[in-house]
Amino acid sequence: MTQRFTFAVKATLTATLIALSGTANAFSFDSCKDVTIVVRNHTGEEVRIYDLDYHDYGVGKWRSEPLNNFNLRNGKSKFIKRSLGAVNQARTQIRIQYKKLDSDGEYRIKAADWSSSAVCSKGKTFEVKLEN
């Protein structure tokens, strides 16, 4: 009887731990979903946004997010929604790369600006001010 009881307790504890670890993993996987990136253009001119990256400080790696090129007029803002699932409650930073007009009227002058770094969590908002 004692062996059966011990076995039942061990089995129950094992099942509980497995269930809890699965729940924890599910929460951490969703931890950087529904992130809002606010891009504010303060350059004094219209720019063309062509790249959005984020730095995953947990693994020391820049990750690129797909982004269709778009123009952003001076003084305007663009709100971009993304899920940065690879971050999982780690510190991250957003980088926006853009081009400015050259003297020929072509978007050729490259520039980049960054958000401040913060721990990424579900629903987090990052702001990137374009000022170069």
Residue type, 73: R
Average pLDDT of the chain, as a whole number: 84
Do 74 and 14 reside in the same domain of the chain? Answer: no
Q: Which residues form the domain of 10?
A: 1-30
Per the structure, the count of domains in the chain is 2
Secondary structure tally for the chain: helices H, strands E = 1, 9
Give the model confidence (pLDDT) of 36-56 as tens digits.
999 999 999 999 999 999 999
Do 22 and 48 reside in the same domain of the chain? Answer: no
Residue type, 14: T
Do 8 and 48 reside in the same domain of the chain? Answer: no
CATH number of the domain enclosing 74 = 2.60.40
- Residue 39 CA to residue 65 CA, distance in Å, equals 15
Do 49 and 98 reside in the same domain of the chain? Answer: yes
pLDDT at residue 128 in the model: 98
Place 6 in a pLDDT band, splitting at 50, 70 and 90.
Answer: low
Do 13 and 67 reside in the same domain of the chain? Answer: no
Do 52 and 18 reside in the same domain of the chain? Answer: no
Do 21 and 50 reside in the same domain of the chain? Answer: no
Q: Examine the pLDDT at 102 and tell me if it is beyond 50.
A: yes
Do 46 and 9 reside in the same domain of the chain? Answer: no
